Structure 1
Amino acid sequence: MDLLGVLLWLCLPARWMAGAVTMTRKVTLVQRSLQNIVGSSPKIEVKSFENWAESLKEDVVFTASPKSVREIQRIVFAALLCRKNVRVVGSTHSWSSLFTDSEQIQINLGNMTLEGGKRVILQPGEYPGYRTVRIAPGVTVGELNDLIVPLGFTLRSGPSIKEATVLGAIATSSHGAMVNEPAIGGYMTGARFVDGWGKILAFNEDTDPEVLKALRCNLGLLGVVFEFELKIFPQEQVNSCGILTPLKTLFNPEFLRNAVSKNNFVLILSASYSSLTEKEARSVLETGKVPTTWDSGNDIVLINIVDPDATPDSLNTSDDPLPEDVTVVSTGQEFYKFIKGFPRALKGINLTDAIYLDTAVLGPKFLASEYTFPEKTDFKRSANALKEFSRFMNEKSHTEGILPFTRFVARWVKGTDCFLCPTSNPTSLKVAGDAGHFTTLGMDGVIDTLQEGPGFSYTMHKLVEAWDNLGLEGTLHWGKITEVTNFKEKIKTYFRHDLGFFENIRRKIDPHGVFMNDYLSYLYDAFNNVN
């Protein structure tokens, strides 16, 4: 048997080698085979994997940290020969199973740079209202802003977690709360990457608009991006205001319409159970159930608006006194302190400082999920969804006890020119009066909660069912997929023919599925069976 034959035999799946070697020995043999194909650099190591939230774990993965494009090519070629999947790992802030599998090859691109060792390079040429930058693959949202703010620019819309890599945020269609801005992938204008054959490809939005629509939410399926180009915008001076009001204020669609349509940025945050009285809290501790006297509509929400003309009086809200504290039965106790202490008015600050949160305020590691649906100009869909959320909280809390939700997050964003972005304006769900904007409703939950009832994923699944029953027909954030049993059918209904357009591009770039993983393979029934 020649060398290539030996390498291929050593890389055979475990089920083909049953009885030949132990699992530990098999992993060692595969590691050596991968290293022999890759060469001396980068090192192929065997490690365990755990995501940031400690909610996803794998005992065995092969890892590599390439420093050059050539090293990436060798890794992909080795994976192709050894029938291993390759997934790029960023800051591991994804809560879903998109980016991890046992015995896959995980590539960390944190060591990659552009020419001259630079991480970000401002491109020549000015365009109406923006410039572009070339970015190395491991750059985080916080790092990008740190590098472009001194140059007088900002990233208008990105995830609030600054530690997230920009590429990871693009891959999952992450977004901020700028009302008239798309998901972060909507700013991508070009990319260079290694495909499933180990070849270098390059695309830009002028000559390859369909490929860019796929790249703007690629789920890691379109190769290893080692350089990309993004739009950035001139820095702005804005006012930031924090307005506190009961959740039930948001049940009025006219209030929502005024808040969202008259401001550039609207972020709504609420700590669960903030309106529980001490008497009601004692009842929870004694009975395990929340008394029926409690109404989640009285929970306090923070409405953070950002705009050059924003003032604390921009919105007509209640002047009722706020609860002094949150009781110990609430997992949102610490977050409520942040809400109460949020500045009422900051004038003339940089947009960057106004729209990105300090991650520390989010507290300890948590679980997260997010539901997205198209909005009409009258905002009745948003108001109904918020009212249903309150009804759900009341019913479940009264019968099951404290739910595993720490906080609630609501945002509104513009549609994105993209195949798989939840904010991609799916043709199957266009509604009369659609303004090309979307509502995103998110729930966060601590991993170790005080209650002994149903867990976060199950409770979120039931909440999604309740929202679906309103006819919203939304979908979930790719990086925050919980155990929704009908998710495969949900994406098939939501994205329809865009799934087929994306799949046609993926097959050309990665015909052998080098960049696939088990969970995406499961979902791919929806991609391959679109009516």
Structure 2
Amino acid sequence: MKVFLVVTLYLATCISFTRSKSLRSSKTDGNLEGLEDTIVPLGDEPADYRAKRSVMRKPTALSEIMGPLSRRHARDLTEFQRSDAVYLRMRGLLSILKMLIGKEPQIEIFHYVNWDKTINIDNLFYTRPTSIFQVRRIIRAARHLGMRVRATGAGHSRSPLYVDEGNVMMDVRDLERHDGPRMQINPKNSVRNYKTLTAMTGVYEYDLNEFMVRNDVTMLSQPLNVNETMGGMVAAATHGSTWSAPTYSGYVRELRLMDSSGRLRKFTIERHPELMKAIICNLGMFGIMYDITIQVYPTLIAKVHNQFVPLGSLIYNNTALRDTVTGNFLTEISWFPFNSVTDAEAEDYKRDGTIPAAWNAKRDSIWLRSINIISEAELGGRPLEPTHFLPTNGSLSGGKEKGLLRGRGAVSVAKRVPIVSYHHLVNAFPVILPPRWGTETSAAFMLNIDNQFIRAAEALQFIVEEAENQIKANGSTPLNALLPRFFENSDCDLCPGNHDITQADDSGRTLVIDFLAPPAQYGFYPTARKFVDHFRNQKVRPHWGKRHDNIPGIIDHIKLVYGDNLDHFQKMRKLADVDPCDMFMNSYLLEIFGRSGTWCA
């Protein structure tokens, strides 16, 4: 309390000398020789947004308050004691932050839980700006205090990409553009012979899709839900399952962000190709993304076909697997373990947990969903339907069903989807909702696909057999759903599917092994570890946004697999001079990438 009073009195004295000034960028801004074209002039802050006052700091006093925040793993405190100590210091810092930032946006101490309740952060500073000027004020205030800032949107990530406890989480979903609409279509021009779409980083995918339909344009791939934000999908290279289309990052042609000096910066694929290799999948390390411009295509009509085929005929036949995946515009394969039990076997299971002697995974059904592009003539006047939200009761693994019968329940609800339907392409991708009962998390790992699909089949069989063995051994399953997906690689440093990570007979595509279960489900994490260990020599790498940080040695493995790409990423980050003080990093990312230099404020 004594320290806080000293600092508060000092700040109050400073306010009278600095009331008409704003927080300025520090000496660490560096120069942008050769990148002057990346600066977007913002000018003075509009009067409606302007901070009422700004202050200077006394480092020796503030360091006593900030100290416990940097000792997150102090050995002399229990977790609860440490969290309480952090909270007490944050209470003192909150008043200082509010004085630095001004009346808007509000900033509060917050307990954060992500969308599927798998990430919990005890105490952080949460703020939700509405303008680029407010973003600038938050960044400069945080930099003034030596704090870190990381953006968030819908909170779909299950990995440690969030800001560390005691620092600033900036929710970007309410941001509005200061120089244009929230979303806009850009016509072809002399540089780009295709249309582009510019959208704010916090725009939800379902709003983006509606906008594309209204404007007769489309994307070629999308994830399994529409509740993600544009910035989140780009920052972590969110994937779909389109054979000849990349992750969301692969569509980016231009991006504006605010760096740690409070400068709005613009980077384009034409003027800054090497920098864009790092920026299009930046994990939030380049700054607070503002708006993003992606390539779009003329609207397309899609025919969706749902089938249920024996697992053994597809997963254990690499030729059939290859022909199925490469023969469709998009292929989604979903397996829900134990789904082929008969009514009589299900009754026996309910009664005493009996696993039928005749059951094996090859007997189960695969839900095979394919999408292909058709012409107006092939449509033949049929109505185009809206997006189908999959009838899974808010969970992809069986809704309210219990135990192993979840698999049977999941297939049952999947069969309620029409066998054939027709859509605008952006409305054809299947959509799930967040789980309504408990939590359901996801582990996902990437492997290169060879032209013969031998590696792909081997990886799928490994997961299937792990689940089958556990079911037969003790009547439990390590996963509720296996969702392999397929996409095209891109020219990108950190994208899990990129042209620099190759294997023998490489197809230039990547397989995603994605499997779901509640995080406490027996065998879930051990299966993820076994998979990574088994395929280490095939350069397996985690999906950045999915659960993987619990796997022993994963950070060293990431460094090994990405190799020179990590060095290029850091070189580009330094060249761009977006964050010399590592304001946009967190403890997990620092373990992988290291520090840029001396921590500064």
- TM-score range with shorter-chain normalisation? 0.7 to 0.9
Deviations 1:373-415 (A, max 9, x none): 1111111111122222222222222224312412111111100
The CA distance in 1 between the partners of 2:414 and 2:477, in whole Å, is 20
Deviations 1:177-200 (A, max 9, x none): 111000001111111111122222
Q: Does the CA-based 8 Å contact 2:307-2:367 persist in structure 1?
A: yes
CA-CA distance at 1:459 after TM superposition: 3.0
Choose 1 or 2 for highest CA Rg. 2
Task: Describe the SS at the equivalent of 1:164.
Answer: coil
Task: Describe the SS at the equivalent of 1:402.
Answer: coil
Please tell me the residue identity of whatever aligns with 1:430.
Answer: Q
TM-score normalized by structure 2?
0.77
Structure 1 match to 2:157 = 94
Deviations 1:180-227 (A, max 9, x none): 000001111111111122222211000101221112211111100112
Q: Does 1:498 align with 2:573?
A: no
Deviations 1:23-78 (A, max 9, x none): 54421111111122222221111111001111111121101111221211121111
Structure 1 match to 2:101 = 38
Structure 2 match to 1:431 = 504
Please tell me the residue identity of whatever aligns with 1:235.
Answer: T
Which of 518, 524, 531 is the aligned partner of 2:587? 518
Structure 1 unaligned spans of 5+: 312-324
Please tell me the residue identity of whatever aligns with 1:439.
Answer: L
The CA distance in 2 between the partners of 1:309 and 1:134, in whole Å, is 27
Structure 2 unaligned spans of 5+: 1-9, 15-55, 72-80, 379-399
Deviations 1:429-476 (A, max 9, x none): 3323x2211111210113575xxx34x32332223334x17x533111
CA-CA distance at 1:156 after TM superposition: 1.8
The CA distance in 2 between the partners of 1:221 and 1:128, in whole Å, is 28
Structure 1 match to 2:329 = 264
Compared with structure 1, are the counterparts of its residues 425 and 299 closer, same or farther at alpha carbon in structure 2 (3 Å cutoff)?
farther
Q: Does the CA-based 8 Å contact 1:295-1:394 persist in structure 2?
A: yes
The CA distance in 2 between the partners of 1:326 and 1:56, in whole Å, is 25
Please tell me the residue identity of whatever aligns with 1:212.
Answer: M
Q: Does the CA-based 8 Å contact 1:187-1:231 persist in structure 2?
A: yes
Compared with structure 1, are the counterparts of its residues 145 and 201 closer, same or farther at alpha carbon in structure 2 (3 Å cutoff)?
same
Compared with structure 1, are the counterparts of its residues 130 and 335 closer, same or farther at alpha carbon in structure 2 (3 Å cutoff)?
farther
Compared with structure 1, are the counterparts of its residues 120 and 380 closer, same or farther at alpha carbon in structure 2 (3 Å cutoff)?
same
Deviations 1:335-369 (A, max 9, x none): 2223222322224x321221242537998742011
Which of 486, 489, 497 is the aligned partner of 2:553? 486
Please tell me the residue identity of whatever aligns with 2:303.
Answer: N
Structure 1 match to 2:91 = 28
Q: Does the CA-based 8 Å contact 2:247-2:487 persist in structure 1?
A: yes
Q: Does 1:56 align with 2:119?
A: yes
Which of 416, 440, 446 is the aligned partner of 2:512? 440
CA-CA distance at 1:501 after TM superposition: 0.4
Structure 1 match to 2:68 = 15
Q: Does the CA-based 8 Å contact 1:426-1:496 persist in structure 2?
A: no
Between the two proteins, the alignment pairs up a number of residues equal to 505
Q: Does the CA-based 8 Å contact 2:209-2:427 persist in structure 1?
A: no
The CA distance in 2 between the partners of 1:418 and 1:8, in whole Å, is 42
TM-score normalized by structure 1?
0.87
Q: Does the CA-based 8 Å contact 1:374-1:425 persist in structure 2?
A: no
The CA distance in 2 between the partners of 1:288 and 1:82, in whole Å, is 58
The CA distance in 2 between the partners of 1:10 and 1:413, in whole Å, is 49
Structure 1 match to 2:392 = none
Task: Describe the SS at the equivalent of 2:169.
Answer: strand
Which of 535, 539, 564 is the aligned partner of 1:473? 539
Deviations 1:220-255 (A, max 9, x none): 111001122111111111211112111112221111
The CA distance in 2 between the partners of 1:129 and 1:445, in whole Å, is 44
Q: Does the CA-based 8 Å contact 2:334-2:484 persist in structure 1?
A: yes
The CA distance in 2 between the partners of 1:17 and 1:212, in whole Å, is 32
The CA distance in 2 between the partners of 1:287 and 1:511, in whole Å, is 62
The CA distance in 1 between the partners of 2:138 and 2:166, in whole Å, is 14
The CA distance in 1 between the partners of 2:435 and 2:305, in whole Å, is 17
Q: Does the CA-based 8 Å contact 1:370-1:442 persist in structure 2?
A: yes
The CA distance in 1 between the partners of 2:174 and 2:402, in whole Å, is 46
The CA distance in 2 between the partners of 1:113 and 1:305, in whole Å, is 37
Task: Describe the SS at the equivalent of 1:221.
Answer: coil
The CA distance in 1 between the partners of 2:88 and 2:539, in whole Å, is 49
Please tell me the residue identity of whatever aligns with 1:54.
Answer: K
The CA distance in 2 between the partners of 1:180 and 1:238, in whole Å, is 15
Compared with structure 1, are the counterparts of its residues 241 and 497 closer, same or farther at alpha carbon in structure 2 (3 Å cutoff)?
same
Q: Does the CA-based 8 Å contact 2:152-2:170 persist in structure 1?
A: yes
Q: Does the CA-based 8 Å contact 2:443-2:515 persist in structure 1?
A: yes
What pairs with 1:86-235 in structure 2 (closer than 5 Å)?
86-115=149-178, 118-125=181-188, 130-235=194-299
The CA distance in 2 between the partners of 1:105 and 1:399, in whole Å, is 47
CA-CA distance at 1:277 after TM superposition: 4.3
Q: Does the CA-based 8 Å contact 1:284-1:401 persist in structure 2?
A: no
Please tell me the residue identity of whatever aligns with 1:475.
Answer: R
CA-CA distance at 1:124 after TM superposition: 2.8
After the TM superposition, which of the residue ranges 102-111 and 117-126 deviates more from structure 2? Answer: 117-126
Which of 470, 473, 477 is the aligned partner of 1:403? 477
The CA distance in 1 between the partners of 2:525 and 2:485, in whole Å, is 21
CA-CA distance at 1:137 after TM superposition: 1.6
Q: Does 1:351 align with 2:403?
A: no
Which of 302, 308, 332 is the aligned partner of 1:244? 308
Please tell me the residue identity of whatever aligns with 1:274.
Answer: N
